[in-house]
Amino acid sequence: MPSYKLSVNDQNHTVEVDKGTSLLWVLREHLGLTGTKYGCGIAQCGACTIHVDNTPMKACVLSVEDFSNGEKIKTIEGLSEKGDHPLQKAWVEVQAPQCGYCHSGQIMQAAALLENTSSPSTEEIKVHMNGNICRCGTYLRIIKAIQLAAQSQ
């Protein structure tokens, strides 16, 4: 079985998995980082959003062998050591989640936006968040949380 070296949340890991194994399953099953969720398996819902070199990507369609060249992978667990990233705090304050299943992916997508745009307009937020689905429909609270987080950064 091949061995892959990954940099995840500023820690180096070596995993032995079959070629073609989804990065999502490596994160969840081999590294125990279960904050990244499985939603659809075809990169349509965004529940599995992570950052690779600060770019949001859908982990369910990424193969582990594509990420052993030193790329920096960040999951929701790596966003903030104490869970106090401005987005995480804003999410709680505006009560953005209902069931909560999609929200780690939502927060990771939003974090990428705020890395590049310190004060996004409502339209910029909508466009950037378009690939992340909330089955409970809490979109207005998600937008409000992103705006609140942008103000507190």
Q: What is the pLDDT of residues 91-144, one digit of tens each?
A: 999 999 999 899 999 999 999 999 999 999 999 999 999 999 999 999 999 999
**Residue 5 pLDDT level (bands cut at 50, 70, 90):** very high
The pTM of the full predicted model, rounded to 2 decimals, is 0.96
| Domain boundary assignment for the chain | 3-78, 86-151
The span from the CA of 47 to the CA of 50, in Å, is: 9
For residue 105, give every residue at least 6 positions away whose Cβ sits within 8 Å of its Cβ, in sequence order, or none. Answer: 36, 37, 39, 45, 46, 47, 48, 49, 132
Residue type, 116: N
Q: What percent of the chain has pLDDT over 70?
A: 100
pLDDT of amino acid 31: 98
The 10 Å Cβ neighbour count of residue 62 is 20
Chain segment 18-70, per-residue pLDDT in tens: 999 999 999 999 999 999 999 999 999 999 999 999 999 999 999 999 987 88
Q: Which CATH superfamily is domain 86-151 in?
A: [2Fe-2S]-binding domain (1.10.150.120)
Average pLDDT of the chain is 96
Query: In CATH, what class is 3-78?
Result: alpha beta
Residue 69: predicted pLDDT: 86
- For the CA atoms of 61, 63, 69, 71, what is the dihedral angle to 10 degrees? 30
